[in-house]
Amino acid sequence: MLSGKTILLGITGGIASYKICELIRMYKRANADVQVVCTPNALNFVTKLTLQTLSKNNVAVEEFDIKNYNPEHISFADKADIMVIAPATANTISKIATGVADNLLTSIACAFTKPVIIAPAMNCHMWENPIIQENLRKLSCTVLEPESGYLACGYLGKGRLCKIEKIFDKTAEILNYKPLTGKKFVITSGGTFEDIDPVRYISNYSSGKMGVALADSAKNLGADVTLITTKDVSKKYNVIKVKSALDMKDAVMREFDNADCVIMAAAVADYRVKETAPQKMKKTDEDEITLTLVKNPDILSELCSLKARGQEDKKTGYIACHHDIRTSYPLVVGFCAESENLIEHAKEKITKKGCDYLIANDISRKDIGFSSDYNEVTILDKNGGMKKLERADKMTIAYQILEEIF
């Protein structure tokens, strides 16, 4: 996603420095060239060898380690498209704000004329210090404020480095990587809720995190996004809250005609109660209770059927439902969650459903999938192709999926 872009990544001496290893991996997965510059104190928290191995570049630390006629702080500043300083300590922030250039990183920052992102991390009292806040206001850059939580010093307060995904997203946004501009994405997320009575329901363990990550990623890449979800989500793009499988079907069908891509990441219940009780069902003396379940509509199959029928109509010249024949039809992407024989079941499902791509999840593992912030998936396509995406945070997986399918 970031091919041809050079990111100058400054790391300062804070405990959150170890987290930047994952940020480097995310940048590299997006094909960016990453040049790491550390303050000497940063190497007390993360090793130079680790950073060089991940970035595939030498790590710069010393200010006067000049290999050619170009002063390093100027050559680095000229080469990079953006500078990211994370974590940024109170010390480094104050130096940059007041023009102090006493190490390589601060010298580069003083000479850097392109976009700069600073992600502070420090003790909560340091963050609240009026001098630090005044220095932050002096900076002509994007500041990603720290988050609240337990700090390494033992305090509870605002000072934790913001999420790595937020730094990555802001980097991509500033570099104006918008390959999906003009495309409409409809994405579903969360497990549906099928009422038994006014207080009970049938559902599943889906958190909706993967669908939201896909929606966030598509939005960041320029798409017009509609997220149809069973969860409470507040976003800057269009969010439609639904409850049951029938609700979700209605919402998806309303959005289908204008979509360029529909991604069915939701865990839609296969069955619902045939007759929902209008009042709360009372406990009886019986040891057992019987609920009659009926099949829910298969939304993915119906979307694929609509697409196939429309494409056939286009071939024959038949105009269905008095509408003009579409020049193109949405890309339809399904998800499958399996606890055994993942690839076998996924191959059967993509053939049966007829979707363009199928994302296969292994829900038997505890370190990925439902409720986890991480995932590992295999992408299958309708032509028999298959690609495995190794375990990573769900935002990284989401970007990789979008890169693969569009």
Residues marked active site are found at: 153
Q: What is the DSSP letter of 66?
A: -
> How far is the C-alpha of 294 from the C-alpha of 275, rounded, in Å?
9
Per-residue DSSP letter, 146: -
User: What does DSSP assign to residue 296?
Assistant: P
**How many residues in total does the chain contain?**
406
Of 168, 150, 172, give the one whose Cα is nearest residue 16. Answer: 150
User: HSE of 101 in the Cβ direction (CA atoms, 13 Å)?
Assistant: 12
Q: Cα 259 to the chain's mean position, in Å?
A: 21
In this structure, the dihedral spanned by the alpha carbons of residues 40, 43, 47 and 51, taken in order and rounded to 10 degrees, is -60
Do residues 72 and 66 lie in contact, with contact meaning Cβ atoms separated by under 8 Å? yes
Q: Look at the block and give the residue holding tokens 């053939």.
A: 351
Decide: 334 and 361 in contact? Cβ < 8 Å: no
Q: By 3-state DSSP, what share of the chain in percent is helix, strand and coil, each rounded to 5?
A: 35, 25, 40
Coil, strand or helix: which one is 235? coil
Report CA 94 to chain centroid distance, whole Å: 32
Residue recorded with tokens 């199928």: 358
Cis peptide leading into 87, omega within 30 of 0? yes
Cα(222)–Cα(26) distance, rounded to whole angstroms? 19
